[in-house]
Chain A
Amino acid sequence: MSEARIDTPQVHTHSQAEATHIDNMKFAMWLFLASEVVLFAVMIALFVVFRVNNPERVHEVHEAAGILLVSANTFLLLSSSWTMVMGLRAIQNNEQQSLIRWIGMTALLGLLFVGLQYVEYNTLSAEGITLYGDEFGMRFYAPTALHGAHVIVGVLWALWVVYRGSKGAYNNGKYLGVEIFGLYWHFVDVVWIVLFTMIYLV
């Protein structure tokens, strides 16, 4: 007589799988972001120390730069983060054309951000605030320019995702590439959120 046995199927809900399984690529991205956190945090700390010790110089720069341009730039980057997640949402719903549109928009907004930053740098240098002008220069340009470089890399990466998307590389079961780019892009946004407040507002 054969053994009567009922095999209970291994049921894993989505959330269980997410809670226990760590994707290697995703973890690698987070580790990279951890190193970026150190880099930017040190630069922000250097600026804050300068800000505490030389409030009048920072105030002068704030007067010269004006808040309108940077605020517009902040909105561009916030919007690009939104279009990014909407793109991820689209591909999770298997809407490939929608993914291409959203990520394309992300790239465009990132490009506009870099363009406005160029305008801002021009304005500042016309006011005499330059890289080697005084102690302020490097403390201001190093973090903002490094952030700008990250945005440029992000724009190129976004275009790559758009290209891969147009080749049909992603679908609702395979979107890790989009997700990892999203992590990078949102991190760049987070850095700007902190930079914007610490450098331009406080």
Chain B
Amino acid sequence: MTDEIKREEPTPIDPNNPPQSIAEQDSKTIRELRADPVPVEEMPAEAKQVLASEPHAEKVARAAAEDVLNKPIEAVEDAVNAIDRETRPTTPAAAHAPTHNRNETHVFGRVIPLPLYTVVFITLAIITIVEVIIAEVFPEGIFKTVPLVVLSLGKAVMVVLFYMHLREDSRVFAFALILPLLIALVSAIFLLSVPITGY
């Protein structure tokens, strides 16, 4: 039989220089790939010549200019990479998992190894302790009332956003809270403006 298909032999893997896995290449950012310098011995002859002929002072000036020019490019890269990291699902399951079901929480760029709900709970507890201290220590007056009211409203908003899931649920539900609160606020202001003895 002569019509046997001639299979091409796979390229043998060089043990000293194994190919990068796709995942590894994929995990590199554009900047990391760009920063990967080409070793001098692998450069073409012309490039070697240019490199050797360039005076030192010029080389330094060029590096400085490149640094300045790189700044805006790096800023764009950072933004693109950040969006890329946020939107790239690792597995279909991970893409669908609600954020509050992960075992770690990202707060201002830090990673806390606790679920979001626990982080919220600890925050609420700390704010409550601070409130009690303010109530006990501060003298009567606006400097006691205002922080207390602000802290308690902050706590209420945290519970609504994170525990009642308003942060990711329909915005329509927010009106169920905001509208009656506005009405109550107007009523309270009216009541406060009425003298104690009434009209």
Contacts and interface: CB of A to CB of B under 8 A. Distances in A.
Nearest to A81: B163
B11 to A, nearest CB: 36
Interface in B81-135: 95-96, 98, 100-101, 115, 117-118, 120-121, 124-125, 128, 131-132, 134-135
A82 interface: yes
How would you classify the secondary structure of chain A's contact residues: helix, strand, loop or mixed?
helix
Contacts of B131: 197, 201
Interface stretch (A11-19, A124-132, A144-152, A162-170): A11-19
A172 to B, nearest CB: 10
Contacts of B173: 26-27, 30
A78 B128 contact: yes
B191 A89 contact: no
A108 interface: no
Interface of B: 95-96, 98, 100-101, 115, 117-118, 120-121, 124-125, 128, 131-132, 134-136, 140, 144-145, 148-149, 151-153, 155-156, 159-160, 163-164, 168-170, 172-173, 176-177, 179-181, 183-185, 187-188, 191-192, 196
Interface of A: 13-15, 18-19, 22, 26-27, 30-31, 33-35, 37-38, 41-42, 45-46, 48-49, 52-53, 55, 59, 67, 71, 74-75, 78-79, 81-82, 84-86, 89, 92-93, 182-183, 186-187, 189-190, 193-194, 196-198, 200-202
